[in-house]
Amino acid sequence: MIRLDSAAPGFAAAFAALVADARATTADVAAPVAAIIAQVRAEGDAAVCALTERFDRMAVSPARLRIGAEEIAAACALVPGELLAALDVAASRIEAFHRAQMPTDLDMTDAVGVRMGLRWGPLDAVGIYVPGGKAAYPSSVLMNALPARVAGVARIAMCVPTPDGVLNPLVLAAAARAGVSEIYRIGGAQAVAALAYGTASIAPVDRIVGPGNAFVAEAKRQVFGQVGIDSIAGPSEVLVIADGGADPLLIATDLLAQAEHDEAAQAILITPDAALADQVAATVATELADLPRAAIAGQSWDRHGAIIVVRDLAEAATLANQLAAEHLELMVADPAALFARIRHAGAAFLGAHTPEALGDYVAGPNHVLPTGRTARYASGLSVFDFLKRTSWICASPQGLAAIGPAAVALAGAEGLDAHALSLSRRLARGDRGPGS
């Protein structure tokens, strides 16, 4: 764990190094991913089946790629009632929050009589990638599928790998709760390629969202342009800003909640209270001893964790804007005032009663967030990722007469004579009406 003090000599360089810590894997999988994508494009279902047997140790035929309704129902029946109830709480809240985001169409007429606007509409088809096997990420299903459903996407296709044939009932139950019935038992780069380009059994989609390993992330990067993607997500991160009144045990717990994701995750505390910094450091060490995922969390904390002592909360906000963290917790007496100083964060969690984990599951806002300082320019997943906007213009003869000459002048300046003629010929005809 790195310990920094903003008043110490060399702080600026040390903090810059912390900000520059990419933490992403150095493995270069571009070539094998390109080969997989090419194979799927050339061979379709046969390639998907062969690659699934190779990587997931599961023989599958094209007819068995899709998980049937009976299999989904049987899996849902295995999920305990209290977990189904918890899924429903999460889904209801996520759906409600995203429904409140839905934009309205724009229709305006300006001073010269030109009518114009924006019309919103959903994508036709979306693909969702969900990690599978023994890992269970039902929250990922809800966070990716429900905004698409709220946006009005007609077709949602989900891919979930099933290593050794293992299907996770909770993941399928989450899919069912989110209204997703088109589910395929495939994963990896081959699943991304199938969603992007299509096969005989899997129709192509328009956008692919959802987390995955390095192969999945690289595949999304390579198919971008053929389809849209959400982002190329990096290791997860949390920044906690706390004042002297914060509970060191809660801070330590929240830092470790992020660190347990994986060895490349990052957890940082910024505080103006040096005594609190000491208490949190000691508490993290104590809590690590009893944590089931201590090996992962310990490596994350040792390699990428940091505690920074600053002069005041204003300086803490300045540093937070440079870090542009995925998750930002404000455990201070007046979190709203401090939040007003924050320009860059994927999601903010205000006050001691709002741990980041609440947002992971049931609060309502999306937990698919920008990582690796991309919160400087990117935002979390929302209904807008599943909508398109189309602008439209309807000019009256009077409106064309008012603004058309300026367009003629600009077209002429750009040397686009046909552009100028398409305007000037209409202007010459005056208000004789359509087709005159």
Residue 82 to residues 167, 175, 291, 360, 400, Cα–Cα distance (Å): 20, 17, 25, 18, 64
Question: Of the residues 261, 304, 327, 344, which is catalytic?
Answer: 327
CA distance 275 to 68: 58
Residue 179 and residue 147 in contact, taking contact as beta carbons nearer than 8 Å: no
Question: Of the residues 260, 263, 326, 329, which is catalytic?
Answer: 326
CA distance 292 to 273: 30
Residue 296 and residue 259 in contact, taking contact as beta carbons nearer than 8 Å: yes
Residue 305 and residue 23 in contact, taking contact as beta carbons nearer than 8 Å: no
Residue 326 among the catalytic residues: yes
Residue 70 among the catalytic residues: no
- Give the gyration radius of the chain's Cα atoms: 26
- What residues are annotated to the active site? 326-327
